Amino acid sequence: MSDITANVVVSMPSQLFTMARSFKAVANGKIYIGQIDTDPTNPANQIQVYVENEDGSHVPVSQPIIINAAGYPVYNGQIAKFVTVQGHSMAVYSGGSSSVQQFYFPNVLKYDPDQFKQLLSTDDGAALVGTTSGLTVQE
């Protein structure tokens, strides 16, 4: 899987997988990852998620990603680093028989890195880069 450029970490923007209404871990919860601005619980909208190993290699994983009792996302019971290759939506659900959506993020990135790269490469791209003098590179 060396041809994968995984550059987007799957994590909660607030850094903790906690319940929405209390500061408790989302014990035995589930994380769904999908295309931007879509419902990631719908399999048709889901994108590939990978576990990044210590050696930098990537292993594709199925969804949902499980959250352990302490609030950490796990793979085969082990706390792991999950990544994707693009910006994504994310839904976090509580565990148990009454699984309830705790969070939904339509786009975990302000700018998809690939989209921003495309903007910079346009004729007006230099206008997006500021300088210390208050002007842009294009000016």
Q: Of 70-74, 82-86, 110-114, 132-136, which gets the smallest average pLDDT?
A: 110-114
* Gap between the Cα atoms of 7 and 113, Å rounded: 9
Per-domain boundaries in the chain: 8-108, 109-139
Residue 118, judged by CB atoms within 10 A of its CB (0-12, 13-18, 19+), counts as exposed
Q: Tell which wins on pLDDT, 8 or 44.
A: 44
Options 2.102.10.10, 2.170.14.10, 3.30.1360.20, 3.40.228.10; CATH of 8-108: 2.170.14.10
pLDDT attached to residue 104 = 92
Q: Is residue 115's pLDDT more than 50? A: yes
3-state secondary structure of 116: helix
Diameter over CA atoms, the chain:
59
> pLDDT tier at 134 (50, 70, 90 boundaries)?
confident
pLDDT attached to residue 1 = 55
Residues ≥6 apart with Cβ < 8 Å to 36: 87, 88, 89, 106, 107, 112
Mean pLDDT of 123-138: 75
> pLDDT tier at 45 (50, 70, 90 boundaries)?
very high
Indicate the pTM of the whole model: 0.70
Q: Is residue 2's pLDDT more than 70? A: no
